[in-house]
Amino acid sequence: MTQSALNQLKNLTTIVADSSDLSAIEKFLPLDATTNPSLITAAASQPENKALIEAAFEQAKSEGYQNDLLVERTIDILTVKFGVEILKLIEGRVSTEVDAALSYDTEATISKAKELLALYQTYGIEQNRILIKIASTWEGIQAAKALEAEGIHCNLTLLFGLHQAQACAEANITLISPFVGRILDWYKKAENVDHYPIDKDPGVLSVKQIFHFYKQHCIKTEIMGASFRSIDQVLGLAGCDLLTVSPNLLAELEQDQREVVAQLSNNHAQAHCQRIVTPLTKETFKAQLEHDLMSFQLLQSGIDGFIKAREQLSILLRQSFGLDAEIQP
């Protein structure tokens, strides 16, 4: 019997569920899972998660938080609670994101990461099962560098270019999440093109470039392709270290019967490691980012989008618990 494309892909790549939907994670049984503020907000809107939200709110209240701080603490507790529930269903790691509003503040990012880990520890979750998810700004990468030096593993997200990937490698980051679909969206709009074949898909090519750079330089940071628009994009990166895929695309892959062939492998790398000749400084990183209009725009819009999603969750919580009347002057 022919294996599904999903099962074939699992033989080549570690498949991660890009979801906070507990039923979808239970169905597809990925090794790892990733969450973000948008996914947490969507999950919090589902009636079956009402008890989880109420428990998070009561915990924040019992800790003495009030007003705006009560809402912020509830969001952090809820984010971790979703992570705890996900970890009950998977064998591997869950990625939990730091508040995107802190993306340009190194010290605040470090502090928030440690707060989230402390919450996980109260639920008996070991640190090695958590990846702290941080936006790939210079400040975020430096925060992750400091955390990694303390043994706290990080997942650098909203990554759109080789300069970001190089900075992460130099910071000894555990894992990066280069985006595919958002790059494709940007180029389709910028170049007024309706469709790219997979071998010319700018998002797929971006991840391939990063993969080859990492393997040629024997960089140990794991690469997890993210933000997919189609199963063709997913299969176009078969052989990548990890791929994080939404439940709807996992369902399509499960129904697909095509033969899956590795598009990436360590054999593509050169036999002898090359050293990175010129390490990036803050100035060269920012200059390269600003020169790359696509990466610059997508990084900022991604941060803005995650901030907005957290604000939407804040509004949902205020409405659910009748807090507006208490908080407004």
Return the ∠ at Cα 154 (arms to 149 and 160), rounded to 5°.
120
CA pair distance 244, 116, nearest whole angstrom: 22
CA pair distance 232, 247, nearest whole angstrom: 15
Helical pair 106-122 and 138-149, crossing angle rounded to 10 deg: 50
Token pair for 192 = 């007024």
Model pLDDT, residue 39: 92
Considering the entire predicted model, what is its pTM?
0.94
39: CB partners within 8 A, 6+ apart: 18, 19, 20, 21
Q: What is the rounded radius of gyration, in angstroms, for the C-alpha atoms of the chain?
A: 20
CB 160 within 8 A of CB 295: yes
Question: Which residue is catalytic, options 112, 133, 208, 215?
Answer: 133
DSSP state of 106: H
SS3 144: helix
Q: Write out the DSSP string of 47-91.
A: GGGHHHHHHHHHHHHHTT--HHHHHHHHHHHHHHHHHHHHHTT-S
Model pLDDT, residue 143: 98
CB 86 within 8 A of CB 48: no
pLDDT per residue rounded down to tens, the chain (329 residues): 689 999 999 999 999 999 999 999 999 989 999 999 999 999 999 999 999 999 999 999 999 999 999 999 999 999 999 999 999 999 999 999 999 999 999 999 999 999 999 999 999 999 999 999 999 999 999 999 999 999 999 999 999 999 999 999 999 999 999 999 999 999 999 999 999 999 999 999 999 999 999 999 999 999 999 999 999 999 999 999 999 999 999 999 999 999 999 999 887 555 567 777 789 999 999 999 999 999 999 999 999 999 999 999 999 999 999 887 454 44
Model pLDDT, residue 277: 73
Token pair for 163 = 């300069």
Closest CA to 75 of 92, 100, 93, 94: 100
CA pair distance 181, 299, nearest whole angstrom: 13
Closest CA to 119 of 70, 171, 60, 159: 60
SS3 237: coil
> Could you confirm whether 114 is annotated as catalytic?
no
Quick one: fold of 5-323? TIM Barrel (3.20.20)
Looking at the DSSP bridge assignments, the partners of residue 178 are: 159
CA pair distance 94, 87, nearest whole angstrom: 7
**Per-domain residue ranges for the chain?**
5-323
Q: For 49-91, what is each residue's pLDDT tens digit?
A: 999 999 999 999 999 999 999 999 999 999 999 999 999 999 9
CB 269 within 8 A of CB 215: yes
Q: Number of C-alpha atoms within 13 angstroms, CB side, residue 168?
A: 33
Model pLDDT, residue 227: 97
CB 323 within 8 A of CB 317: yes
